[in-house]
Structure 1
Amino acid sequence: MDELPIGRRVAYWRGRRKMSQQVFADRLGKSKSWVDKVERGVRRLDKFSVLYEIADVLQLDASLLLGKEPERRADGLTCIDEVEVEEIRSALERYDSMSTFFATTPQPPSLAEMTKSVNHAWLTFQYARYGVLTRALPKLVRDAQALDSVANGDDAQPAAHLLGQVYQIASSALRKLGEYELAWLAADRSMAVSQRADDPLLAGVATYRVGSALLALGRARPALEVNVSVANRLAPGGGNDSNPERLSVYGMLLLQGAMAAARMGDNNTVRDLVNGAEEVAGALGSDQNHYWTSFGPTNLELHRAAAAVELGEGWQAVDTHEQKIMGQDGFNALLPERRAHHMLDLARGFAQIGDLDKAGEALVDGDRLAPSEIRCRPIAHEVMSNVLRRTRGAPPAPFAELAEHMGVGI
């Protein structure tokens, strides 16, 4: 995008922020005609003061509008910036499998090397090191695509399997960081690749990622339908085995369907799906990480609490936490992303019942477990703003310090 005129860059980022010209103009205190002329190059942007106002409205570094790479933020290890988003987008938009018809693909890593890199990326995600992960994702995606494009014979399906996993990792990280459309694109790519990998369970987990992205985009009903539809196909019995891998994937699909139903306010469907997942978790016996799902009895309770929050029943989420999660060995054994995610849900639950001190404590506890899960997620910023706005007097010091780190005004 470096070669684009500055007006085109303004138009590009305005579109990314989903602002109409009128909304953008209103926030700048300008006319729609002025914005249109700037974006078409009819009017020059020759004042740095105006340029910085535009950058502020678009919530990006002014150097991006000038076609330069911005300086990395001091907190770059915990969040994502526009440059990294565009690098990931560029990697996702590659079509290496098609390009091999016309040119030789650069030498990809071996299957063993790629497997090691993918496993490391999954652990990086589950430890909520999102900044580290997003810096590595563009190369990881390109390497997996390159390997998949040249693999043949016995290597073809394992290479496709790895590429499908990479797309899932990308989808999960992008969804956490608020890039929901890119998250959906990556998840959709994973579903297509999973068919070539000939692994129904990988396709099931890809469906879970698609459902998560759809839910983030506000499309709860399609998210519910796709999760339940594929869950029914993967259900144990009727010719399907009941191994731990299948139970884990099936259970997570049910839980993701429950989250979608909760977003729709469908309490009955939530109850049915959570109860179904509870049976599966009981059959599994313990929390496991097959297909990187972290599914098991404890994760089930985390989703029960999260669904209660989505239904506006904060008291139920708090009760679930206090009765079935807090202090349990299963919870303490979960990886940081899962535990910090639950503390964020718990903070929302406490906020719903008006216990702002406890909401703040939950956010601080989540930050101690996995700073990126709290400091970098849009939903966490919303909760922080909500609690600060409703808090009378000065907030407790740890909470105020966290708000400062997050850039949320007190």
Structure 2
Amino acid sequence: MSQQVFADRIGKSKSWVDKIERGVRRLDKFSVLHDIADVLQVDVQLLLGRDPERSPDTANCVDQVEVEDIRQALERYERLGTLFEAAPIEPIPLTDLEKSVSHAWMTFESANYAALARSLINLLKLGPAVEEESEERDRPKAANLLSQIYQIASSVLRKLGEPQLAWLAADRAISAAQRGDDPLLIGTATTRVANALRSLGRSRAALDLNIQVAQKILSQGGPAPTDAVYSVHGALLLQGSMAAAHCGDLPTARELLRSADQIADVVGDGKNHYWTSFGPTNVALHRAAAAVELGEGRMAINTHVSIDPESFQRLVPERRAHHYLDVARGYNQVGNLPEAGRLLVEASRIAPLEIRCRPIAHQVISDVLRRSRGAAPALLVSMAEELRLAA
């Protein structure tokens, strides 16, 4: 990168860059250091002569350095432009952003959160710039892509135990989807907001939000809703059932699951409209998860054993590993620790980072090991040692 190109990207003169490089002028503003780090795509700690603080027990997962980078990307406000000394973000073509977002969804569905976190840091900066620089006719599409970026970020952050950041990203996702004028995208963004609220302990608010938007989505679908409309409506009902279960509201959870079941029979399995994976099998997964939240481990296990294996195998890795984690919690609740351990190991085989990256998984592993008294699977013991978990 030439001095001139570098100077242009950080909003400085070539002469300023030359003086900094020769040591004639001091680089003493932290905000400028951050801008330089963005342009050079390096950690700002390296520019300060320090190694980034990385946790030794992340086992190739997302660490606090990357979470902090995501936080900073979410906190940027490119639309305020010259009010800040922020380095301008050079947008990419809309088609390139679309490909990158599609790849990010696939990475999420594969539960490769480490790779996804790194790409999200860049996408969260590029997305607003692309929308801002797009021609008028392309603005809605750019806004919808930005909404998807925020939704992916929200889902990952919630899994990593960062509910406040997850809520911020989800809220941004709804705003972007509104600019894109896609009601179904607004619906999926709503599930991210509700999930973040549930993680923050506001389950009743999450329940009300899911139900309200689910009804609106279906009413806007017309007399013959499409499978996509049914899928988003059904996803909202499923997340509502989880919020109800978290509240201890068994009747509401059951009613929402029953309604989702009826819609899922219309949609069928094997579809993934708006990245919902909605269908009869995914409804069964949520029925098991809701049972675990209610403390009904036996009910979760009975649901699990009734799921058609072939339909289950067709789900994306993230869904399957997540389900095994839920059912492992169910087995833990009923005291079947060997089976709980076996499912944790199986979940790690399908999607390693779904287990290694999630605080809830770490809690379950520790609890199973603590109660097993030497009877836990050797692979689970080995995994706990790699993660430096206390049993």
Equivalent residue in structure 2 for 1:131, among 106, 114, 139:
114
- State the match for 1:167 in structure 2: 150
**Matching of residue 95 in structure 1 with residue 67 in structure 2:** no
What SS does structure 2 have at the residue aligned with 1:239? coil
Q: Output aligned runs, 1:173-188, within 5 Å.
A: 173-188=156-171
- State the match for 2:366 in structure 1: 385
CA distance in 1, matches of 2:221, 2:70: 41
Alpha carbons of structure 1 residues 97 and 321: separation in structure 2 relative to 1, 3 Å: same
Kept in 1, the 8 Å contact 2:264–2:280? The answer is yes
Match of 1:388, as an amino acid? L
Match of 1:158, as an amino acid? K
Report the Cα offset of residue 372 of structure 1: 0.4
Match of 1:296, as an amino acid? G
Match of 2:299, as an amino acid? Q
Equivalent residue in structure 1 for 2:65, among 83, 102, 127:
83
Report the Cα offset of residue 173 of structure 1: 0.7
**Matching of residue 234 in structure 1 with residue 214 in structure 2:** no
Which one is further off, 307-316 or 94-103? Answer: 94-103
What SS does structure 2 have at the residue aligned with 1:312? coil
Report the Cα offset of residue 135 of structure 1: 1.1
CA distance in 2, matches of 1:380, 1:76: 13
**5+ unaligned residues in a row in structure 1: which ranges?**
5-62
Report the Cα offset of residue 406 of structure 1: 2.4
CA distance in 2, matches of 1:253, 1:389: 36
CA distance in 2, matches of 1:106, 1:392: 55
- State the match for 1:398 in structure 2: 379
Alpha carbons of structure 1 residues 287 and 238: separation in structure 2 relative to 1, 3 Å: closer
Match of 2:63, as an amino acid? D
Report the Cα offset of residue 399 of structure 1: 1.9
Match of 1:361, as an amino acid? R
* Per-residue CA distance 1:35-62 (angstroms, 9 max, x = gap): xxxxxxxxxxxxxxxxxxxxxxxxxxxx
- State the match for 1:248 in structure 2: 231
- State the match for 2:138 in structure 1: 155
- State the match for 1:335 in structure 2: 316
- State the match for 1:70 in structure 2: 52
Alpha carbons of structure 1 residues 247 and 69: separation in structure 2 relative to 1, 3 Å: farther
Give the TM-score normalised by the residue count of structure 1: 0.80
CA distance in 2, matches of 1:67, 1:128: 33
- State the match for 1:408 in structure 2: 389
Equivalent residue in structure 1 for 2:347, among 349, 366, 375:
366
Q: Output aligned runs, 1:200-349, within 5 Å.
A: 200-235=183-218, 239=222, 241-325=224-308, 328-349=309-330
Report the Cα offset of residue 404 of structure 1: 1.4
* Per-residue CA distance 1:136-194 (angstroms, 9 max, x = gap): 11111111111011223211100000000000010011111111110110000001111
Residue identity (%): 53
Match of 1:215, as an amino acid? R
CA distance in 2, matches of 1:84, 1:309: 31
What SS does structure 1 have at the residue aligned with 2:307? helix
Match of 2:351, as an amino acid? A
Give the TM-score normalised by the residue count of structure 2: 0.84
What SS does structure 2 have at the residue aligned with 1:178? coil
- State the match for 1:42 in structure 2: none
CA distance in 2, matches of 1:237, 1:197: 17
* Higher relative contact order, chain-length normalized (CA < 8 Å, sep 6+): 2
The count of corresponding residues between Structure 1 and Structure 2 is 348
CA distance in 1, matches of 2:119, 2:340: 33
Report the Cα offset of residue 71 of structure 1: 6.0
Match of 1:265, as an amino acid? G
CA distance in 2, matches of 1:271, 1:387: 29
Alpha carbons of structure 1 residues 130 and 154: separation in structure 2 relative to 1, 3 Å: same
Report the Cα offset of residue 67 of structure 1: 8.5
Alpha carbons of structure 1 residues 240 and 376: separation in structure 2 relative to 1, 3 Å: farther
